[in-house]
A and B are shown apart, each in its own frame.
Chain A
Amino acid sequence: MKILVADDDPLYCRLLETVLTRWGYQVMLVHDGESFLGVLQEKDPPRLAILNWLMPGMDGIEVCREVRKRKEKPYTYILLLTARSQRRDIVAGLKAEVDDYLIKPFDFGELRERLQAGSRILNLQMELVNEREELRRQATHDALTGLLNRFGVLEILEKEVVRAIREGNSFGMAISDIDNFKQVNDTYGHAIGDAVLCETGNRMRASVRSYDAVGRYGGEEFLIVMPGLDEPAALLAAERLRACIGNDPFKVAGAHIRITMSLGVATRAPGWRGTMDSVIQAADHALYRAKAAGRNRVEIASAPDSAEMTAPEPGNAVLP
């Protein structure tokens, strides 16, 4: 485990470096608070730190306060070293959110065990973070296809809509639906139906750009977020998606199944101020038209209401 040590006294630096190395730590040594903060901002910083109280420039307490203010992740476990032993000094240190303290000159056995205690806390925290990330992945992804699920893709859609409005970019999205999917299930059974959904997901993911998002919106319905695409570009992307499904039959469990997909596309030109729901609704209507017009095709939504394009800034609203 890496450990960061900040002490301006050569005697204690040498001492700490020697014993910490012997205990198996990778020691990073700095001699003032500013460098300490600097190291914590580097990539993959040490998570365990020993900080001397009295140093030239920023003292240990100021450094610790700054670390906590920055709320850097992952958490840094800080052990404060101090020659001060008065109760109110220790209280001041704890108030600055140091995790532990040791009074110089310290006993080696005690230092070792206190660092062990810190490592235990850090490991517990790491486990919790990993589990949280795994739960988050599960909550935002579809277990069958591995695509984003409805919640996950809507979260991204909302973020991208907000960003497009803020940055004045054009914006494209599509909703797609596998044609006559019920027949696939009825003819081949649900296992094959599931395999078709997975293959559809794989083909769609391979067809879009890395910064587009594809999610399973409903049963056999998918939502595609395409930031920055204007109408012609979004139509092209949707046509590519249609072709990647419909052009080659699906080879599933020895069978060759012809699958097609219909798509409804909605785009917004720079300067629009609509809502996410209005775009989804527009794409949904376009999809309905694609289905009505014979399936295996792409339809584009008509331009949004002029109100959506010219809505004034909130501050300039005209009173009725």
Chain B
Amino acid sequence: MRKSIDTSVVLARVGSDKVLLRELAGIFLQECPKTLSEMRDAITGEDCNSLMRTAHTLKGRAAFFGADPVCKLALRLERMGRTHRLADSQKAWAALEAEIGQLKSALTALASEGGHEDPGRR
């Protein structure tokens, strides 16, 4: 199965600080419902500005965890918002929801148990 996050990349980014990484994963999960519902509202309400902003935020957070699939879809939605072309937004949104589901499970695992490559915690 395709990995939704690249743990080695993100660990290197935080200087191998697993405690910090867990905390950040927790913040991502905590903020996720609000960001997603804002995005969904923006798409249904055709609020391009709001879509651009929320997709941009999500993209930034996903990029931090090396979550490329979510990143790419968020970027697509951000561009749709910026260029005021929402024709394909429903399709992109559906794809994003699926990817977000996987990202959330990966981060939940990360947040609750400290990552697979922590031998001390096995």
A10-B27, A14-B23, A108-B13 known; A54-B64 Cβ under 8 A? no
In the complex, chain A residues whose CB is within 8 Å of the CB of B13: 105-108
Residue A276, interface by CB 8 Å: no
Residue B106, interface by CB 8 Å: no
When the two chains form their complex, are residues A11 and B61 in contact, meaning their CB atoms are under 8 A apart?
yes
Provide the bound-state CA to CA distance between A54 and B23, in Å.
Answer: 24
A1-38 interface code vs B (CB 8 A; 1 in, 0 out): 00000001111101100110000000000000000000
Provide the bound-state CA to CA distance between A106 and B17, in Å.
Answer: 15
The B interface is mostly helix, strand or loop, or mixed, namely helix
Which of B15, B53, B61, B66 is within 8 Å of A54, CB to CB? B53
Chain A contact residue count (CB 8 A cutoff): 18
Report B37-91 residues with CB < 8 Å from chain A CB.
Answer: 53, 56-57, 59-61, 63-64, 66
Residue B92, interface by CB 8 Å: no
Provide the bound-state CA to CA distance between A106 and B12, in Å.
Answer: 11
Which of A12, A14, A54, A106 is within 8 Å of B56, CB to CB? A54
Residue A83, interface by CB 8 Å: yes
In the complex, chain B residues whose CB is within 8 Å of the CB of A106: 13
Provide the bound-state CA to CA distance between A9 and B27, in Å.
Answer: 10
In the complex, chain B residues whose CB is within 8 Å of the CB of A18: 17, 20, 23
Which of B15, B20, B60 is within 8 Å of A9, CB to CB? B60
Which of A11, A107, A108 is within 8 Å of B27, CB to CB? A11
Residue B14, interface by CB 8 Å: yes
Q: Residue on A with the closest CB to B61?
A: A11
B13-28 interface code vs A (CB 8 A; 1 in, 0 out): 1110100100110011
How many Å from the CB of B6 to the closest CB on chain A? 11
In the complex, chain B residues whose CB is within 8 Å of the CB of A95: none
When the two chains form their complex, are residues A83 and B27 in contact, meaning their CB atoms are under 8 A apart?
no
Provide the bound-state CA to CA distance between A83 and B78, in Å.
Answer: 12
A83-B63, A105-B60, A108-B13 known; A14-B27 Cβ under 8 A? yes
How many Å from the CB of B83 to the closest CB on chain A? 14
Residues on A lying within 8 angstroms of B by beta carbon are: 8-12, 14-15, 18-19, 54, 56, 83, 104-109
A107-B13, A108-B15 known; A11-B64 Cβ under 8 A? yes
Chain B contact residue count (CB 8 A cutoff): 20
Residues on B lying within 8 angstroms of A by beta carbon are: 13-15, 17, 20, 23-24, 27-28, 30-31, 53, 56-57, 59-61, 63-64, 66
Provide the bound-state CA to CA distance between A105 and B68, in Å.
Answer: 12
In the complex, chain B residues whose CB is within 8 Å of the CB of A10: 27, 30-31
How many Å from the CB of A33 to the closest CB on chain B? 14
A11-B27, A18-B20 known; A105-B64 Cβ under 8 A? yes
When the two chains form their complex, are residues A11 and B31 in contact, meaning their CB atoms are under 8 A apart?
yes
In the complex, chain A residues whose CB is within 8 Å of the CB of B27: 10-11, 14
How many Å from the CB of A235 to the closest CB on chain B? 71
In the complex, chain A residues whose CB is within 8 Å of the CB of B14: 15, 19, 108
Provide the bound-state CA to CA distance between A202 and B13, in Å.
Answer: 63
In the complex, chain B residues whose CB is within 8 Å of the CB of A109: 15
Provide the bound-state CA to CA distance between A35 and B79, in Å.
Answer: 29
A54-B53, A105-B13 known; A11-B24 Cβ under 8 A? yes
A54-B56, A105-B60, A105-B64 known; A15-B24 Cβ under 8 A? yes
When the two chains form their complex, are residues A15 and B31 in contact, meaning their CB atoms are under 8 A apart?
no
When the two chains form their complex, are residues A83 and B20 in contact, meaning their CB atoms are under 8 A apart?
no
A-B contact pairs, 20 of them (CB 8 A): A8-B57, A10-B30, A11-B24, A11-B27, A11-B28, A11-B64, A12-B60, A12-B61, A15-B14, A15-B20, A18-B20, A19-B15, A19-B20, A54-B57, A56-B53, A83-B56, A83-B60, A105-B63, A108-B14, A109-B15
Provide the bound-state CA to CA distance between A8 and B61, in Å.
Answer: 12
